[in-house]
Structure formats: structure tokens, C-alpha cells
Structure 1
């Protein structure tokens, strides 16, 4: 679910600053609800007057960048979002979009975090028409808006449905004394175990405590190993398959990827069909209105020419009358 908010303080900014009272306010922003009570700010918009200055433009850019960085950082700070973005692939798919409107120009930017580096780039730029000149003149603006909508939809889809069972970045976070236990777990289970230990409400551990030799960590890893081994035995009995676990994992990943690609193809087709239904009639109406303007303008030009001809004839007759009266 996507919700638009106007002139409200950013929750992501409030978390970074520690208070809603001093949080930055965006002219507009869009918030998506990924799960229950798990909201993420994905779009920010700033506007300027037609007589804007370059200083105002730079200030808006810096403000939008700060908004985006704060939103990305909330995926590490809020427990509900941490559970969603506990896989590196989901974090890599996370993109925040910003819109900077300066007079009659709209700029669409995207920011994402890769290898601890924030990358901010321009996606689209278009002119907001104040007067209709031709139907084709509005195409760049429509294309920019459709690009934004499609990019948001694809980003949310990837976050919700992508999987990354090969994420093993947290295996190195545990103490090497537990390497015998860790080697018996898959990378995804190691990742889940780490997230569980540092976010467990009953006995919350800090990252430093979880990375040291700790009886709580050892007991939990042993429990996970036993549970995982029982699961493997159950799979082997059910399938009567003696292939290695890595092959099963690989097949499972391929099936997941195939399903995701099929869903994405259907989703893209729905978007294309919706665009055709939505904008085909819209563009036909614009072209029809433009043709009516052209026809009306030609009629007015004909009337003006007729009036000019009548004035010319009247002037000619008046000159003839004056000439006859002088004789």
C-alpha cells in the first residue's frame, strides 16, 4: 500500500535526529507499507518557484539526499524493517526516489547504497508544459511519470519477493570458536541466527556480545544445528533422494528465481496493458482537442481575410467617391 503525505515530518529523519520536532519536512513524500507496522519512505519531492535561484536548487538537492540516506538507514535501525532487509539482495534492491521540481522543469533521481557507498544519479528530466503547443510535446513528461511509477512498483516487488539464500556475510561475525557448528548450517540459517540473537526480546545481545564466546550463542547454535539436521533427515526420507544438500538448495533457488521471473513478466504485462488503457484515450483526447484548435484558428484566419477584403473594397469605393466629387 502506497500513501502520499504533504508537508509532514519525515519519520526516517526523526529517527536519525532523535525527535519529530526537529525532523526535516518534505513538500511531499510517499510511504509504502511492506508489512504490518513496517513502513518505508520511498519517494520525496521538493518544489521551487519559477524564479528559483541556483542556491535554492542546490539546497533542495542536498535536502533530498539527506532524506534518502535517512530512509535507507532505517532498514538497519528499525526492528520491523531489519527483519525484511536481513538479506543482502533485498538491501541491494532498495532504491529511494527523489523529485526536484524547479519552475517548469522536473528532475527524477534515484539513490541506493552499494558497498557502503551511497550512489545518487539522475534518471529522467522533462519540461512541465504551461501551454499546449503540440501533442508530442507532453510525451517526455508522461514518460517520466510512468518511469517513476514503474520503478517504484518494480523496487517494491523485488524487495517483497526476492530471495538470497546465499547470503553468508554474518558467518564471519560469529567467533571462530564456533566454526564447527557454523559449518553444519547453511548461509541463510547463519544469517537468521545472527539477526535472531541481536534482536531477541527475551535476551537481547549486542553485536559485540554476539561475536564473542558466549554460552547463549553456543546453546542457540547447537539448537539450530540439531533442528537443521532433523530437517535434512526428514527431507531425505520424504524424497528418497541421496543427492547432496547443495544440489537441493540449487534446485530450490532456480525454482524460486523462475517463479519470480514469471511473476515479474505478468506484472510487466499488466503495467503495459494498464498504460495502454489509461493513456491511449488521454492522448487521443489531446490530439482531438489540438485538431479542433487548428480548425478553429483556420476559420478565424478566413474571417480575418474576409474582413480585410471588405475594408479594402470600402476604402477603394470611398476613394472613388472622393475622386468623383472633386471633379
Structure 2
């Protein structure tokens, strides 16, 4: 039956090689199938990481293959299937050209994606795209013949380009914001809800003059600002906006200037990312403003570094590991010609010491 997981009876865990079958003589899928007590097709699917084979059987077959040093002829298999075994992962930087792959958010998400892709039997080809006024950066990747599918990390200001390519290229999944009726498959957080939660938390803990730090040229941060602004307006709390960039230390002079010169009544900061929040924390320390007693600050992402700042950073959590897993699952389905819908994950408030209780 299509879609049914395979459950086959099998003998106990394989031990030493049977008589007449030395380790070096286990050369084919049929040899592995004989040892595992399953069909050759099940071995093929298990070694390819197919979910149709249940986890216990898949892991047992892989253990046998490792025990006998079995290496399938991947090149021949890929030629037969017209697959490359490679997934392209591209980061478009249309609105923030100075940002680097070494950005902590990218590194965190890429680490989880690499783990998921490797477990699924794929290699990863990483690319940082700076559109610079051109609109074919994504088609150059999808049409290269070098990849079986593409993961796009962030939409930047390239939403329309991604939409156009998605209309004719199905094996693609994007980390980002989901709009009603869009074509491309997205996995990401409800950014507008996250912005509302961040502003509401500051207001509930006594903040009365807010500032949002972040460049809203990209859709994800624009939606975080929109949510924060709506929440502040509903509470009749003023909210200013500083378009702080995302490019490491380049943002700090602007943050230092605005936090030094703005009315000292500013007592709550909604940062578009944890990285921006960390720069603001450092700047506030340098200019002698206490956190959270004088100024409260909340970030967005919940990167591993967020718990290590002084004070530890209150933030809005994106489920990055779960999101990476969902992206790879959806991409695999699309590669196989199956349907896969977008996933919008709920943001969560993580309370730490940079805001009051």
C-alpha cells in the first residue's frame, strides 16, 4: 500500500560474517538483505533514508552495512535516478549586503539543516546571494542541474523573486514569513505575533516609552515591528523606530548614538534580533544605563548565546531546530512529487533577567 511503513520480520542482530562470506565479500544490496532478513528494496530504501522503512529496521540495516564496510555505488545510483544527492542552501541578502554567513542566527539554523540533510543522505551546497539589482540569482541555482532541491534561508526583500521561481520549480522550501495565498512553501515563525508578545511583555512589566531596533526592509522584521507597533498603539504607549542594521559591529555606532541622545524616558527596547539586542545591552552598559532597572530589553530568536549575556536576555523564541527538521521533511516530499504545505510556528516568550518580572 502506498505510504505504508514497512515492517518485516527479521532474525536477531547480525553477528560475525557467516561461513564463506567474509566482510570484503558483502558487495551488493542482496548480500545485506540476506543478512537482515528483508527484501533488497527495503535495504535500498533504508540506506537512502526513506521514511517508508520503520526506524528500527532502518537503523539495523545501516548497522549491518557499517559492520561489513558496505558502501553502495552512489554515483551509479544517482545516474540511474537522475539525482545529484545535493541540496542547495542559499541565503539571499538583498536588503543587508554587509551581513555574513557567520551571523549567529544563520550558523544555528545551518547547523540544524546540515544535520537533518546528512541524516537524509544528502550533501549540502551553500551559497550567499547578493542580488544587486538582478532578479535571476535564484534561477541560476534551481536551473543549474547541480541540486535536487533548494532551501532558501530568509526572504530578505526578495519575496517576489522567490514567488516567481516557485511557480515553476517545486522542490524548494523557504525559511521566512507566510502570506495568505503565496506560492512558495514556507517554514517560519509568526513574526507579527512575536512582535506583539515582545511589546506586551515590556508594557506589562512597566515600560512606558518603547523603541524598536531593526531594519524593516526585510519582511520578517517588518512584521515584528508591525506587531510591536500595534500592541503599543492599543496600550497607548509611544514606540519609536531606529533602523539598526544586522551587520555585526556596524550597527553599534547608530545604537550608541540614539540611546545616548534620545530622551532618557525610553525604558523599553524591542530588538528585532538577539544580535541587535546584545549590541544594545553592551551599549547601555557603556553609557551607564542599568538593565533592567532603567531600561528593559527583549530580543528575538532565542539563540544559544542569549542565555550567556549579562544579564541573560529575555527573548522571543523561534523553534529553529524543529523548523530545520520541518524544512527538510517538506523538501524531501516535494522532491518525490508529493504535496507539502507551509508551516507557521507559534513564537514563545522566554523570560530572563533583561526584563523585570
Q: TM-score range by the shorter chain?
A: under 0.3
User: Whose relative contact order is higher, 1 or 2, with alpha carbons under 8 Å and at least 6 apart?
Assistant: 2
Q: TM-score, normalised by structure 2?
A: 0.23
Query: Whose radius of gyration is greater, 1 or 2?
Result: 1
Give the helix-richer structure, 1 or 2. 1
User: Structure 1-normalised TM-score?
Assistant: 0.25
